[in-house]
Chains A and B, each alone.
Chain A
Amino acid sequence: MKTVATFLLLLPRNIIVVLLRIYRAVISPLYGDVCRYYPSCSGYGLQAVQEHGVIVGGFLAARRVARCHPWAAGGIDDVPRRQPARYGLTRFGFVVPAGHGKA
């Protein structure tokens, strides 16, 4: 029962993870490296959604894209970490309950 609840809770962000992975594999390489930040905007979005979920993560990602323009200084700009980490990640990037996959 708890597993089902967790699965449903994590489903929205895992759907976004799949979409972002597809974007990063297919669309991103079309125009090469352009982002002035590390990680790139899509990488940031991926981490943000993995860590904070669709709503908060999506908001963080939107703010980041707004920050990323030719006049920004750029540089290293990591997703704010959530302490303690509640979930683990699979190799693909799916968010799973802690203990599965590599933490």
Chain B
Amino acid sequence: MDILGTILWPIKWVIELILVGFHTLWTAIGMDPAAGITWVLSIVGLVLIVRAALIPVFVRQIKSQRKMLEVAPQLKKIQDKYKGKRDQFSREAMSRETMALYKKTGTNPLSSCLPLLLQMPIFFGLFSVLNDAQHDKAGVGMLSRDLADSFANSELFGAPLRATFLDNGGNPLVMVIAAVMVLLMTASQFITQLQIMAKNMSPEAKNSPMFRQQKILLYILPLVFAVSGVAFPLGVMFYWLTSNFWTMGQQFLVIRNMPTPGSEAAKAREARLQKRGKLAPPEPSTGATIVIEEKKPAQRAQPVGKSRAKKQSGGKKR
């Protein structure tokens, strides 16, 4: 067994357990064990379990985002300090101070790359399970040779789950289904990204150079997905698609109910709550203080001696 295979082995084992578990469940309630839809629903079940297992991570992220409200004034202070400074060193210093504030107050809103890293082996594990099944090999655990065979050859709308857009065995239906799925995947990815960028970013984040880069990628990425999507078996694409839909729904709920402070979505939520009378309208006085705060110079002015101060004010004739 090669290194990659060894790393993937436990993951494949768990994937097979979940897949076969769901397959048994669907069969038990009367679905055709050899039908594509039964296997597709098993894949959907796999997605649900994987994404549900990642919910605690997500909840933690939301909790710290709520705590962000408390540190918002301090965060704003940092952002004001570096307002209009685009050079690399100011940017770095700003990220540094922001990160130090997060740590001090325990409000780090970022989730680290672990959730992403965890999903990748699952994706490749599923790919590998399907690939083995296609070559008539039994899985590493629960997926017996018969089940693997049934999985790989089961058909949905007349297209086998193991087929890819490129390796379609001369079946035009595979190409049609794959193309539709690539389109759906691209669309869901696009919508998810777009709703984050359009609604759930604070004005400060929108002014960062990172944002512009992301904006360009928003339009390039779908192309990348479309190109890479043609090489995956339909079964793997079902996993990807379902996962994308989950992300989209999750993102929608979060943006609606727990938006990033200061973003468009946060304003919309406040307006909604005010309409329902659940939130007192902002008092005019608080608005005024914020305006005054914004007028403060970014950096402390040098103290000026009494005599010089007189001269300066005298010179301006005000």
Contacts and interface: CB of A to CB of B under 8 A. Distances in A.
A35 B113 contact: yes
B99 A70 contact: no
Given A38-B95, A70-B60, A74-B103, A29 B217 contact: yes
Given A70-B61, A70-B112, A76 B217 contact: no
A85 interface: no
B100 interface: yes
Given A29-B214, A30-B221, A32-B214, A70 B114 contact: yes
Contacts of B116: 31, 34
Interface string B160-191: 00000000000000000000000000000000
Contacts of A73: 103, 106, 108
Interface residues of B, number: 25
B96 A34 contact: no
B115 interface: yes
B210 A33 contact: yes
A74 B113 contact: no
A52 interface: no
Contacts of A38: 95-96, 98-100
B213 interface: yes
Contacts of A30: 217, 221
A17 interface: no
B110 interface: yes
A76 B100 contact: yes
A68 interface: yes
Interface in A46-84: 65, 68-76
Interface in B70-121: 95-96, 98-100, 102-103, 106, 108, 110-116
A21 interface: no
Contact of A29 (B99, B110, B213): B213
- The 9 tightest CB contacts between A and B, nearest first, are A75-B103, A38-B99, A74-B108, A68-B112, A69-B114, A70-B57, A36-B112, A36-B110, A36-B108
24 contacts: A29-B210, A29-B213, A30-B217, A30-B221, A32-B214, A34-B110, A34-B111, A34-B113, A36-B108, A36-B111, A36-B112, A38-B99, A41-B113, A68-B113, A69-B114, A70-B57, A70-B60, A74-B99, A74-B103, A74-B108, A75-B103, A75-B108, A76-B99, A76-B103
Interface of B: 57, 60-61, 95-96, 98-100, 102-103, 106, 108, 110-116, 196, 210, 213-214, 217, 221
